[in-house]
Chain A
Amino acid sequence: MKTLFDKIWDSHVVKKIADGPSVLFIDRHFIHEVTSPQAFDGLQHRGIEVFRPDLTTATADHNVPTQNQHLPIKDEMSRLQVAKLTENCQTHGIELFGLGHEYNGIVHVIGPELGITQPGMTIVCGDSHTSTHGAFGCVAFGIGTSEVEMVLASQCIMQPKPKTMRINVEGQVNSEVEAKDIILYIISKISASGGTGYFIEFAGSAIRSLSMEGRMTVCNMSIEMGARGGLIAPDQTTFNYLKGKKFAPQEADFEEAVKKWKNMVSDENAKFDKELFFDATDIESMITFGTNPGMGIKISESVPALKSIDNQSLPSFTKALNYMNFEAGKSLSGTPVNYVFLGSCTNGRIEDLRTFANYVKGKNKAENVTAWIVPGSKQVEKQAIEEGLNKILIEAGFELRQPGCSACLAMNEDKIPTGEYCVSTSNRNFEGRQGQGAKTLLASPLTAAKVAIAGKII
């Protein structure tokens, strides 16, 4: 009786070192410009080649501009980093979807939309949100640069096996609740470290009824509860999504693959180290008020009162509220917000753009709001234009930018100014994450749209 995680993990163990990690074979490796240069340097120092260049895919996403991508990148350091990635990929024969390429985009958006990500795989990338790919029933997790070097050198990494947890969300959510609200709700219940040491399987009817985009949003933020990764067993929704994708198996091969993928489920009596249950009907639109993703509340609720916080955590709680300039026990409703960011590997997919466009259609952007609408990839951008979302956005006073990680981590020029609130569909509300002194409030695309029109939290 095995969990899905155990099945995938165990079948990829080349060797288990006694009282040590496992040597785990990696099916797919993604790299980007920020966490790979030192790994390639390491290979050069050792005088070795990339072991399986055919199993690594590269994209430039973290520090790229979201306007005028046809021009050279203005920031010199960013330009050099992207040039270094291009050079490294050429030297080692790695496929690169660089800036301007029709398949370019955020690494966790392009892997799935190109069908590179497939059920049952082990997937790693030097980026913590690699957990996104778990939506397809993969063991996918973020790694450091030394581990990137391990994969380039040997297609394996050394990894201690995490414990397993299943999080069940049962019932039907109300119509305004999005996948983002579900995951923010869970994290607010178990805290930003509640999943540390575990690999999570998300299950239950509320998870099953999500689209692939929604499932990716949920798995994406597994890391925000500290989990090594999160996965969802593949089903017909998964297979329908993958069918016809560029790098997915085609025609007869696809049918064969589906037969195999259908076995990618936890056995009925599989034992998890921990199991949690949530009632979907209790979930409402969520927003964060603090400086880690666990500090979230329903928009209809108030910031927790000081007396509800234990003594050990009180200094950190107070520090967070001071940074955010919020008061304990008060509601956030009515707080003026001048910045809205729609995008990132969490919510930069076509469904997110549709949700946003659908709400703002026929309305006008609030005058005080600067909004950055950033598609997750070139393909998302193209589809948004084809569907006419671009037109809706322009009519409502918005513009569609070019793809990249953008204001999620503000490595490019999309930085939120000091002291400003930003309602953001991204994944982290850490101090300064979106720019020095920026105050991030994480929320769903629908909430972001509402704030962009109202100019304040409603």
Chain B
Amino acid sequence: MAREKFNNFIDSAVPLQIENVDTDQIIPARFLKATDRKGFGENLFRDWRYKENENPNPDFVLNNKKFSGKILVAGKNFGSGSSREHAAWAIFDYGFRVVVSSFFADIFKNNALNNGLLPVQITQKFENEIFETIYKNSKSQFEINLVEQKFTNLETGNFEYFQINAYKKECLLNGYDDIDYLINMKAEIEKFQVIY
């Protein structure tokens, strides 16, 4: 099934300077009861975004109108814990297309890539600079270039290259998905399961 293609873009970013953001925070378990993939963005970071009385928590960054953009910048070890893909769906559905962190949890990284959400891993030092830049001017622009695997802070001109395997990069750029690939390998898999 064709997916949305990933295009290079320039945008501002939302800073979430917290380490070890687990998938229970990204989307709490009580919102996992849906049987389709739609609408999870509404409950993204639910318990940080809203107070117990359901009023928005003004201290949480998503409720601060100063910050916007398709790039989420988060502290190290982002997406740890539960394998719930709903976390990636929620971030994508909310409108983010890139998550930048100095370290990602493995399952989250796979889930993100399988949904057209690009995890960009940069050094802690560069990430600290990004946070500083956003805090100084919340409209600061950043460039994401998947073709060159390059993330640039347009305020300072500093950039870093990030890792992604060639196969996944192709998938994202062209909107391919793994399941189509596997279905086309059916004959090979059938042979393998007999002989292995």
Chain B residues within an 8 Å CB radius of A228 = 106-107
Chain B residues within an 8 Å CB radius of A316 = 18-20, 75
* Interchain CB contact under 8 A, A144 and B47: no
Given contacts A14-B189, A128-B107, A228-B106, contact A430 B30 (CB under 8 A): no
Within 1-42 of B, Cβ neighbours of A (below 8 Å) are at 1, 17-20, 22, 24-25, 28-30, 32-37
* Interchain CB contact under 8 A, A42 and B83: no
* Interchain CB contact under 8 A, A146 and B178: yes
How far does the Cβ of B130 sit from chain A's closest Cβ, in whole Å? Answer: 14
Given contacts A63-B33, A146-B114, A196-B106, contact A312 B81 (CB under 8 A): no
The size class of the interface chain B forms with chain A is 35 or more
Contact partner, B189, options A25, A35, A146, A433, Cβ 8 Å: A25
Contact partner, B25, options A12, A38, A144, A430, Cβ 8 Å: A430
- Look across to chain B and name the residue whose beta carbon is closest to the beta carbon of A42: B179
Contact partner, A226, options B105, B110, B168, B178, Cβ 8 Å: B105
Contact partner, A11, options B1, B33, B165, B196, Cβ 8 Å: B196
A170 near B: Cβ within 8 Å?
A: no
A21 near B: Cβ within 8 Å?
A: yes
Chain B residues within an 8 Å CB radius of A126 = 83, 85
Q: How far is the CA of A154 from the CA of B76 in the complex (A)?
A: 34
Given contacts A19-B167, A430-B81, contact A78 B33 (CB under 8 A): yes
B82 near A: Cβ within 8 Å?
A: yes
* Interchain CB contact under 8 A, B20 and A193: yes
* Interchain CB contact under 8 A, A25 and B196: yes
Q: How far is the CA of A21 from the CA of B170 in the complex (A)?
A: 13
Contact partner, A143, options B17, B36, B83, B185, Cβ 8 Å: B83
* Interchain CB contact under 8 A, A147 and B183: no
* Interchain CB contact under 8 A, A37 and B25: no
Chain A residues within an 8 Å CB radius of B188 = 14-15
Contact partner, A436, options B47, B75, B84, Cβ 8 Å: B47
* Interchain CB contact under 8 A, A155 and B193: yes
Contact partner, A292, options B22, B36, B52, B183, Cβ 8 Å: B22
A231 near B: Cβ within 8 Å?
A: no
Chain B residues within an 8 Å CB radius of A437 = 52
Within 41-57 of B, Cβ neighbours of A (below 8 Å) are at 47, 52
Q: Mark A183-222, 1 if CB is under 8 A from B, else 0.
A: 0000000001100110000000000000000000000000
* Interchain CB contact under 8 A, B47 and A193: no
B144 near A: Cβ within 8 Å?
A: no
Chain B residues within an 8 Å CB radius of A149 = 179
B111 near A: Cβ within 8 Å?
A: yes
* Interchain CB contact under 8 A, B114 and A144: yes
B77 near A: Cβ within 8 Å?
A: yes
Given contacts A20-B165, A21-B167, A292-B20, contact A432 B47 (CB under 8 A): yes
Q: How far is the CA of A404 from the CA of B168 in the complex (A)?
A: 37
Chain B residues within an 8 Å CB radius of A433 = 24, 29
Contact partner, B185, options A14, A52, A430, Cβ 8 Å: A14
Can you spell out 13 A-B residue pairs with CB atoms less than 8 angstroms apart? A46-B183, A128-B82, A142-B107, A145-B111, A146-B179, A147-B110, A158-B182, A162-B106, A223-B81, A291-B20, A411-B33, A432-B28, A437-B52
10 closest residue pairs by CB, A with B: A20-B167, A144-B85, A77-B33, A19-B166, A37-B35, A144-B111, A154-B182, A142-B83, A146-B114, A316-B19
**Given A51-B189, A146-B177, A154-B189: 7 more A-B contacts, CB < 8 Å:** A145-B85, A146-B179, A154-B183, A226-B105, A411-B33, A428-B82, A430-B24
